[in-house]
Amino acid sequence: MRKQAACIGGGVIGGGWIARFILNGWDVNVFDPQPGAAEKIQQVLDNARRSLPALADVAMPSEGKLCYCDTLEQAVENAQWIQESVPERLALKHSVFKELQRYCKSDAIIGSSTSGFTPSQLQKNSVNPGQIFVAHPFNPVYLLPLVEVVASVDNSVDLAQQVLQVLTDIGMSPLLVRREIDAHIADRLLEAVWREALWLIKDDVATTEEIDDAIRFGFGLRWAQMGLFETYRIAGGEAGMAHFIAQFGPALQWPWTKLMDVPELTDDLIEKIASQSDRQSGAYSIRQLERIRDDNLVGIMRVQKAHNWGVGKLLKAYDQQLLAAQPQPAVIPSNAEPLIMYEGRVLPAWIDYNGHMNESHYLTVLSAATDNFMAYVGVDEDYIAKGGSYFTVETHIRHLAEASLNEELQVTTQLISCDRKRMHLFHRLMHMPSGKLLATGEHMLLHMDLNSAKTCFASEDVQGRLEKIFDLHVLLDKPQGVGSAIGVRS
């Protein structure tokens, strides 16, 4: 069954939601009567297509379909999830909810991107208040995983669980806010920094660029991977947070901040902020700034992914979620043909400065084919957990042709030889559907006892499966290149 979402409003936030859903395989209906809305949404989608897949190390789902609707009724009538992203005017949101509830399904989920209103405020005078809740994301929605989920007493526990599951399924990190509060959690923190920054500019203590430098070259880097409290816990040393509070807590009584006192946004102050901001980054268009932002975010997030930390841990879990949803590699067990042990696409993260798949990722794909072959003959997670596995002791790769972004790949595997301790595999990496040979990979593996770190016999079950495959593969022609190595003239 196709998953159907409806997005009401296609601005910066609405467009980000559209991209997040579509790139995760949802069909999306869009209703936005503003002139030029389709063009702006397309620009957001273009940015998302080049950045979100770069965070994944497995293929993402096939894109969902995008449909621009002429009426609200057409947009929401079959939607399972409806995301409202209209301007922050409560009366406008009430009007939109009243209209869409006339046409949507009674069990449809209606999320609001509001950054400030509580669900109780949104639900006022609604015919079905239990449908409406807060799902507040962060820009760019297609990259940043946080979404604040806020419910009221009218929202059921079952609905909240559905909401959390859908958001998790599209790669987001839902934060269920414990109780209703204006501006939720993150924006209240941002507002505190924003207020103080306005005073620093008004009093000529710092410029917009200097304030941004203080954040991006200092505590912003720490916050990006540890947040606030974990950062301060480290600052407390071995004695931890209690020591930090004892040492720095008295400073909270000093008159450093003006958090409850907001400077008047006079024409002069607005002009000062605008002119400084233009000097800071006016050399770039908004589209250029968005792409610079996205590339930097992808880099920071991938570094954390390499360390399985912070947002990187979430990305790794999402990779496993995507992998589990994909069909298992096709196999041909009944005749003398190589086995299809890998099918996928060239991912953005695999592309090098030449615009083609980097040589290291040829090995990534061939290694995945080896892992799939091992699982096929019975060396699966349970087998490995019991202490047995194969270790690759020799590899030879021939790079024969280039592979480009999003091209379909297939690896076929031929078992060249096997005994109780060894298996000799030959992989062919091909471009599909043309069948063009891109590379070959030859691997010798030894069966190991993981507890003693010594070679040992494979189980009878694994050996039996290997022998059945070999009885078929011995009938095949010897692959071109098998047993070869780089020739060096003396």
Q: Is the pLDDT at 149 greater than 80, yes or no?
A: yes
One-letter amino acid at 230 equals E
Q: Enter the pTM of the model.
A: 0.80
Q: How many residues are present in the chain?
A: 490
The pLDDT score that the predictor gives to residue 333 is: 62
DSSP tag of 348: G
In 180-239, which ranges are continuous DSSP H helix? 186-202, 208-214, 220-226, 229-235
pLDDT band at 330 (very low <50, low <70, confident <90, very high): low
Domains (range + CATH), the chain = 4-184 (3.40.50.720), 187-283 (1.10.1040.10), 328-473 (3.10.129.10)
pLDDT band at 306 (very low <50, low <70, confident <90, very high): confident
pLDDT digit string, tens, across residues 91-103: 999 999 999 999 9
Q: In 202-286, which ranges are E strands?
A: none
Q: Is the pLDDT at 230 greater than 90, yes or no?
A: no
Which residues, including other chains, have CB under 8 Å from residue 358's CB and lie 6 or more apart? 350, 351, 352
Q: Is the pLDDT at 440 greater than 70, yes or no?
A: yes
> How many CA within 13 A on the CB side of residue 36?
5
Say if residues 173 and 144 touch (Cβ distance below 8 Å): no
Q: What is the largest CA-CA distance in the chain?
A: 88
The pLDDT score that the predictor gives to residue 250 is: 78
The pLDDT score that the predictor gives to residue 273 is: 84
Q: Please, what sign has the CA dihedral across residues 111, 115, 118, 124?
A: negative
One-letter amino acid at 177 equals V
Number of Cβ within 10 Å of residue 389's Cβ equals 17
In 104-185, which ranges are continuous DSSP H helix? 119-123, 157-169
pLDDT band at 327 (very low <50, low <70, confident <90, very high): low
